[in-house]
Structure 1
């Protein structure tokens, strides 16, 4: 929705209205959560959460979502199925391979 307002800046364009309406719905939802949580200033918290969400969307787009991919499992069968990196020799080369580089 961030790009929609940029691409359709005319206030009465249907795409602009849809994006603005969506943002208002999200803010209203945040406000409802803030009121339910008995926040000291629910309106301010709703505004701030919307800013954080917009920042997450923008960052996700820039990083192609890499920062928000689920972490790999650390335990259990899924973790065991994951391929482990090859052990390194003292000079930094994978075991069984020569290297011209030396780790300092």
Structure 2
């Protein structure tokens, strides 16, 4: 084998074996990094439950204060319960997700 044959062989191996392997390796790593792990999902579920409990507590506190002081209006709200929409949207998303799993 002369030098030209060796260079050609190395080029063919690099083009048809090494290059696709590198591309597939990083595509696989990219796809696995973009997904949530079961630990991430459990943490998100726990954070959602905590947010829900805190929201219920805030509604109770606001209701008690409003009962004592009818002129009281919480900051950022025009009517009681008007900021519940983001949690409602999250609840709809969770219901859709659970419906897809069945």
Bigger CA radius of gyration = 2
- TM-score, normalised to structure 2, is 0.29
- TM-score, normalised to structure 1, is 0.28
